[in-house]
Structure 1
Amino acid sequence: MTRISPLEPPYAPEIQAEFDRVMRGAPPLMLFRVIASNPRAWEKFRSGSLLDRGPLSLRQREIVIDRTCALNGCEYEWGVHVAIFAQAARLTEPEIRATVRDGANAECWSAAEQALIAAVDALHLRATLSDDEFSKLASHYDEAQIFEIILLCGFYRTVSYLANGLRLPLEEKAARFPR
């Protein structure tokens, strides 16, 4: 059970409107219900979030998110993203597995995706990019995309902290880490 109780329906109209916007009519995730139980946390989460499309393709975005969550041991958020977005992002089973079990040099990734994963790994391990890592990233992604990559890594590290630290139960329809 989660360490902080989630909001229970019926939700206040403004909260319901936000849930509807983010979830596109599906029931709200436990993560959102728990964060929304604290008005300040919910406001900060929404205002600082990266829940819009941004300059990365869906595939690039999901690789960053899935890898970040996997590195943080956050099966909750990894599983939600794989279940909801992997097919639309055209991630194959070997690629999904590689976000958890393999490094940037896995054969399933293109050169651009290898640079992307290497950057995610570096940011996770050292909170910085070496000149070589940045150069490889910049050879495939423009400045707006590089900002988005770094922001996504930080945002989903925070999401991982929330999901792990609050012991959110895995969503019923979410994917599970490959064993």
Structure 2
Amino acid sequence: MARIEPAARPYEVDMEATLEKLMPPGVEPLVLFRTLARSPRVFRRFMAGGLLDKGSVTLREREIVIDRACARCGGEYEWGVHIALFAEKAGFGAEEIAATVAPGEADCWTPREKLLIRLVDELHDTAHVSDALWSELTSEFSGEQLIELVVLTGLYHMVSFTVNALRLEPEAYAARFPA
């Protein structure tokens, strides 16, 4: 049971327009968005921090980081939304989807993708990146990409903390963690 009821229509005029832009036509805004809309200032700041645009890393790399960060935090709500909306576009099959949740580095990942898993895991476990891992990362990723990857990991820790603390119910179409 959600701890805070999502906002319901009618929304404030500017909030209605903002929420409408976030979703495909005819699709109800995410429970997360509608819940955060109860605090317009927080909602706007939250949305300003998004990195779902075309960034310096590929869609697949972005989704590996997001899905792994959410999985490590137990953020099933957000993990499920990303799997439902982006897994196919990122080229994930069942093995990759399961590997975002499984401990360790799965064989389905390329060596470069395994570095992403290690980055997220190390940040999650220690809130740092060791010199050894950083050295490996810099052989594969530019400084711009590394900034984006670290910030993505942090942003999706924040999203996971939010959805977990507010106990948001999964979206009807969202994936669920593998058993």
TM-score normalised by structure 2 residue count: 0.95
User: 1:167 maps to which residue?
Assistant: 167
1:161 Cα offset (Å): 0.5
The residue identity in structure 1 corresponding to 2:72 is L
User: 1:110 maps to which residue?
Assistant: 110
Q: Supply the distance in 2 between the matched residues of 1:165 and 1:69 (Cα, whole angstroms).
A: 13
User: 2:43 maps to which residue?
Assistant: 42
Partner-residue secondary structure (3-state), 2:104: coil
Q: Say whether residues 1:81 and 2:82 are aligned partners.
A: yes
Q: Supply the distance in 2 between the matched residues of 1:85 and 1:51 (Cα, whole angstroms).
A: 11
User: 1:129 maps to which residue?
Assistant: 129
The residue identity in structure 2 corresponding to 1:99 is T
User: 1:28 maps to which residue?
Assistant: 29
1:9 Cα offset (Å): 1.4
User: 1:141 maps to which residue?
Assistant: 141
Q: Supply the distance in 1 between the matched residues of 2:54 and 2:127 (Cα, whole angstroms).
A: 24
User: 2:65 maps to which residue?
Assistant: 64
Q: Supply the distance in 1 between the matched residues of 2:54 and 2:103 (Cα, whole angstroms).
A: 26
Deviates more, 1:42-51 or 1:106-115: 42-51
1:146 Cα offset (Å): 0.5
Q: Percent identity?
A: 47
The residue identity in structure 2 corresponding to 1:144 is E
1:58 Cα offset (Å): 0.7
Q: Supply the distance in 1 between the matched residues of 2:95 and 2:133 (Cα, whole angstroms).
A: 24
Provide Cα deviations, 1:70-94, integer angstroms capped at 9, x if missing partner. 0000110000000000000001110
Deviates more, 1:50-59 or 1:84-93: 50-59
The residue identity in structure 2 corresponding to 1:176 is R
Structure 1: which 5+ residue stretches go unaligned? none
1:102 Cα offset (Å): 3.3
1:98 Cα offset (Å): 0.5
Q: Supply the distance in 2 between the matched residues of 1:13 and 1:140 (Cα, whole angstroms).
A: 46
Provide Cα deviations, 1:112-150, integer angstroms capped at 9, x if missing partner. 000111001001111111011111111111111101100
1:22 Cα offset (Å): 2.1
User: 1:7 maps to which residue?
Assistant: 7
Q: Supply the distance in 1 between the matched residues of 2:46 and 2:24 (Cα, whole angstroms).
A: 18
Structure 2: which 5+ residue stretches go unaligned? none
Partner-residue secondary structure (3-state), 2:28: coil
Q: Supply the distance in 2 between the matched residues of 1:133 and 1:55 (Cα, whole angstroms).
A: 20
